[in-house]
Amino acid sequence: MGHLTIAEVKEIKTLIMQARSLEKTIDDILSRDGMEANKYTSFKSMAHIYNDIATRSATVMKIGNFYKMNTEEMKGWADTLWPTAKSILETVLISTRILISSLESNIDFVEEEVDNIESFIKTKLRSVLYEIPQKEKEVQNAIENLFVGKGFNKAIDYDRETGKFNFSGREYIPDFILPKLRMCIEVKLLKDVAKKSKIIEEINADITAYLKEYENVLFVVYDLGVIRDELEFCRDIESNEGIKIIIVKH
């Protein structure tokens, strides 16, 4: 599967929501009380709705085709016996659940990998910085060394200082991007108490811009003994969906 844009990720989330709604509707129809002959009259419209969601899902996920119901050969509800109508609804329900699983697995994979990258940097970064860094570039170099050691290929798994974009009249260039995860990483070096508030302001200013381009944004703050309360430092920043921040102390 190719790299997904933010718009495609949002479309997948919309499709999951619509498929879940279809699942619930069919489940309610199958479980409600009433005469069997009158319960399943919506079978054909439910099949059409499923086909529409499946078609859009295949397009956005770029994986070919999902199973489709053969609605052209379906008769109207008045000409269909209720056991057949019920069977069609049950098939649509099963197909919808398989579709939901396929859509969710892609989103779950990305979220799991984002968490893995966050944990990897948090646990390994300090060990590859043998001397106290004086510039952010030194921390960036250390992160790139970690990526290379992990077997990442530049320009494929990650890239550095690329992905330039403009937002509100300002140019942004992320320190790192991980295209497959729709993720960018921004590095901050905090070595002066007087700069603490400024760095928080910089991060908050970056959040809106980066979320326009990336689904996941990770801020790596390398702290030279300035931050006393990590929870307080991170609280307001991590309240934004898609934003993560890690503090690594030297």
Residue 212: partners with Cβ closer than 8 Å, 6 or more residues away: 6, 165, 167
In a domain, 119, yes or no: no
Tell me the pLDDT band of 68, cut-offs 50, 70 and 90: very high
Give the C-alpha distances (Å, rounded to integers) separating 153 from 117, 148, 149. Answer: 15, 7, 10
Tokens 């007087």 belong to which residue?
194
Q: Region 177-186: what's the mean pLDDT? A: 90
Tell me: pLDDT of 1 over 50: no
In a domain, 28, yes or no: yes
In a domain, 232, yes or no: yes
Closest Cα partner for 128 from 113, 114, 141?
A: 141
Backbone torsions φ then ψ of 120, nearest 5 degrees: -60, -50
The answer to whether residues 181 and 214 belong to one domain is yes
Domain count, the chain: 2
> 245 has which bridge partners?
219
**pLDDT over 70 percentage in the chain:** 96
In a domain, 113, yes or no: no
Tell me the pLDDT band of 2, cut-offs 50, 70 and 90: very low
In a domain, 202, yes or no: yes
Cβ pair 237, 219 in contact under 8 A: yes
In a domain, 58, yes or no: yes
In a domain, 118, yes or no: no
Range of the domain at 71: 6-108
Q: Higher-confidence residue: 54 or 110?
A: 54
